[in-house]
Structure 1
């Protein structure tokens, strides 16, 4: 059975601290770039989705306004134009 000696524990702590600071340094370098790309991609997807919805709305609007039968209007009576008499 092996026992951990003081030098091994100190060495392990040194490696853990070094790895922590390396990761922290790399995160400061690359995290803003990655975040910017994610935001750009989300913006692009949002714009594409908005364009698709606008296209669908226009298609639905165009097909609903172009009907084969014109709407029938109810004729209730004649229009009478009244003039004032002095």
Structure 2
């Protein structure tokens, strides 16, 4: 059995969709500034925390002008003398 949509039901559906659409628009305009302010405060706190951690890592523990070597190179490396035959190359024009 097929039912036909009535004009009243169609208009009612369109009206409900429009009311929901405009209701969301109005609520967004009301609450968007508060949401943006909240998000900006959270981002500011996050950046301040990261900046503070970076500053703590970079604080020098030595006196100004003092030379500090962070890594001493390994001197136990020996070169392999059996690397191959030396071939002299010449450029050909």
Q: Say whether the fold is shared (TM-score over 0.5).
A: yes
Shift in Å, 1:16: 0.5
Name structure 2 gaps, 5 residues minimum.
68-93
**Cα separation, 1, equivalents of 2:44 and 2:38:** 10
- Corresponding residue number in structure 2 for 1:43: 44
Q: Which residue of 1 aligns with 2:10?
A: 9
Q: Which runs of 4+ in 1 moved over 2 A?
A: none
- Give the TM-score normalised by structure 1: 0.68
- Bigger RCO of structures 1 and 2 (CA < 8 A, at least 6 apart): 2
Distance in 2, matches of 1:32 and 1:15, equals 27
Measured against aligned partners, the alpha-carbon deviations of 1:11-50 in whole angstroms (never above 9, x if no partner) come to 0000001001110110011111001100111011101110
1:2 aligned counterpart, secondary structure: coil
Shift of 1:3: 2.0
In structure 1, list runs of 5 or more residues that go unmatched.
72-86
Superposition CA RMSD, Å? 1.7
